[in-house]
Structure 1
Amino acid sequence: MFHFDRIQQKIFVIMGILILILSGILIFREYNYRGRLSADLSGTSPQIWENPGIVPSNKPAEEQPGKQVRSGETERQIIKVYITGKVKNPGVITMYEGDRVDDAIKLAGGALPDADLSRINLAMKVQDEDMYYVPGIGEEIPDEILLPGSQQSAGSKVNINKADQAQLETLPGIGPAKAQKIIEYREKHGGFKTIEEIMNVSGIGEKTYEALKDQIDIR
């Protein structure tokens, strides 16, 4: 038989108590962990991916890299215009219907340093097959050359198939309402075939025609 003195007996008792305490702590932690894990799993619904191996992105389509989003786009007719004068690369350029004179100048490489842009209307819409001239500072422009957006020069005529509303309003007897009717008529009928056809426009009779016939053409 083993005999232990009082000190040894106390040591064994203390060690036993410590072992019991540590065992209780470990059991409590294990029980608590299992309880929390069970609660988490019960409140979570699994995510199903139809294509395994591809993680779905939370970003909307328009924010995903490499994806192009097309919205609000409309098809526009391609046209060709001739731009010359004080531009870096004069010549025939391809544009879209509805583009402006300012766009044409940029496509021609930009204006030269001695160009006088104050004499032309940069906001004017370009027309298919038209010529646009960018004048120089102090340059005298021949009568046959019409600057973009300027009033008609003496001896020049208004092309009623291509003129915008402002140009049409320079004609005698043509105000905003009649100018708009001329534009609507040519769009509906594919343009004027003769200058006399302008009398088919509502509000334009023989008297008005006689006053403007020498100032219009259909080129």
Structure 2
Amino acid sequence: MEQVRERYRQYRWRIWLGLGLLLLLLGGGAISLVRRQRQNQAADQSLLEATAAGTSGAVATSTTDASVAAESSGATTKPSGADKQAAVIYAEIKGAVQRPDVYRFKSDQRVIDLLERAGGLTKDGDDRTINLASPLTDGLSIYVPTKAEVAQSGGPELSGQSAGSTTSTSPAEGAGDQVDLNHADAATLQTISGIGPKKAEDIIAYREQAGGFKSVDELTQVSGIGDKTLAKIRDRLCVR
């Protein structure tokens, strides 16, 4: 035991020096490790911030591009007021149909659609003189004649019409044709200027009661039709 103490006295300065160096090395290593960890943390934080900033910018750019594209598309496809107005038209059909009237349509429809809306032909209606494939136009008016009117005019002459025409070739509307007071129906009589639904019914009632008209002048016997009215429409009338 005494020898150990003696050796400690001889070498104690070396022991303390070694311990000091060891502590110095350990302290320096710890400090270096802490610095390295802080540097790594700072680098990681910078990388995260840069990544986040890049992602946010890409999202913002994508959103902006999408908004611009949507606005551009909307500006291109948004219909103007003139287009909306042009897409709606009104067309009239009268004569030998179930429901003569003025109907509202889109501009891409045809005469056959107008005829269907009117309930189709009456039992004596004849559409052979009408171009059912013709497109509807705003303000169009179509008269559908009866079979008797078509026969009286010499038969259908649709082949003589131009493409797309919807003008009827019935005797009531043909240039120079006259309306026979003894055979015309109410719809045909109404094609004469000044003859409305009520007068047309009165003419037919008088014709049935009197057994037919013997002359055009006899029309003045119908209530509401005087000499002045007859003078205006005489060239459109005949008695057969």
What interval of TM-score do these two structures reach, taking the shorter chain for normalisation? 0.3 to 0.5
Normalising by structure 2, what TM-score? 0.36
Normalising by structure 1, what TM-score? 0.39
